[in-house]
Amino acid sequence: MMVLESSGLGIKFNVLGNRGDRVCNFARCYDNSHYRKFVDDSTLVTYEFEQGNEDAMLLAQDEGKLVPEYENVWMKIERDREKEYLRSHGFPVARFVVVDGGEEALRAARDEFNWKAVIKRARGGYDGKGQFYILSEKHGEDLKKIEGKLVVEEFIDFDYESSIILSRGKEGISCYPVSFNFNREGILIYNYGKIKDSGEREVASSLSSSLDYQGTMGVEFFVGEGRVIINEFSPRVHNSGHYTLNFSATSQFENHIRAISSLPLGSTETMPYFGMVNILGKSKVNSSLLKEGNVFLYGKESTSPRRKVGHVNVSGNSVEDVKKRIERIMEQLYSNDLSFL
């Protein structure tokens, strides 16, 4: 999407680790084992996914080519690093402790959080994997045998989840509107907006400045009692910003490329009512889906029912109108049944 969306800027792209993808038709693709050549051949290196080729990232960082900088990736490798950064810099986060292994985690859930806690693996968590909710003494017996570093967090009884996408360039920060996010089993199913800003814009902007961040980032929040708590941030373009492809003057992808290239940011003006539904685990969709919105199929093989293989962007005359379209799409795609997750 970064390559496609920046196709008019006259930038040449190299892509690492994407041999089979459609992007290789219009960018030079490198096998992961050739990451040195990839970094050598590129003047700037960025990533669409912080769990990318770490050797390449470290080499690019060494050569001063990695944008956003490796510190952002480093923080995402182990969840406690991110949490610690946020807490120590005064950003609103859930109370947490870092422990070693399941037994210690359960003890913390009891002693620190009165059995209202979420236990998360420090490493490897993505799309809801490695997260366990402890909401009573009875939960979690089988977690005792988990080894390794865990983060035990206060369970936040939030009203809803939201996110905001922003791009930070050399000359400032441009924010997209706040969206409501519907997640299930740790996966974003759909989002829509714009919704009321409960502080997301200020907190996210302040975080990006604190990190001296360059690029597009997404910040996810829990919102309750009129205030926001950061769930996590993503140092990259974000799934909850895919609506910008159709409904914003400049997409999050183009603004990422502009920001990392030290080019002026493009306008983030966005249509007032927008939404997005992820297409999970389908090998094809019915063309009637095109009635509801703008369909993007990524050309991926579907390897699991949870795999994001595309999305549908929807607009409407009001947030309610967008929500109705999202319901129809959910019915079409999943018969409103998410139990496959």
**Interface segment toward a copy of itself; rule CB under 8 A; list 89-97, 138-146, 250-258, 329-337:** 250-258
Which residues on neighbouring strands pair with residue 188, listed in sequence order?
A: 183
From CA 102, how far away is CA 65, in angstroms rounded?
A: 40
**CB of 23: closest distance to a copy of itself in angstroms?**
9
Site string for a copy of itself, 17-46 (x = CB under 8 A): -----x--xx--------------------
From CA 235, how far away is CA 215, in angstroms rounded?
A: 8
**Interface segment toward a copy of itself; rule CB under 8 A; list 154-162, 204-212, 223-231, 256-264:** 256-264
3-state SS record for 294-328 = EEEECCCCCCCCCCEEEEEEEECCCHHHHHHHHHH
**CB of 279: closest distance to a copy of itself in angstroms?**
10
Size of the site for a copy of itself (CB under 8 A): 35
Work out the number of other CB atoms within 10 angstroms of the CB of residue 158: 17
Of 51 and 286, CB closest to a copy of itself: 286
- Helix segments in the chain, DSSP class H: 2-5, 35-41, 54-62, 70-77, 79-88, 102-111, 200-210, 244-247, 252-260, 319-334
Contact with a copy of itself (CB under 8 A) among 293, 322, 326, 333: 293
Site membership for a copy of itself, residue 254 (CB under 8 A): yes
Site string for a copy of itself, 302-321 (x = CB under 8 A): --------x--x-x------
Report the greatest alpha carbon distance in the chain. Answer: 59
**CB of 237: closest distance to a copy of itself in angstroms?**
15
From CA 301, how far away is CA 280, in angstroms rounded?
A: 11
**Interface contacts to a copy of itself, rule CB under 8 A:** 4, 7-10, 22, 25-26, 246-247, 249-250, 254, 258, 263-264, 266-267, 269, 271, 284, 287-288, 290-291, 293-299, 310, 313, 315
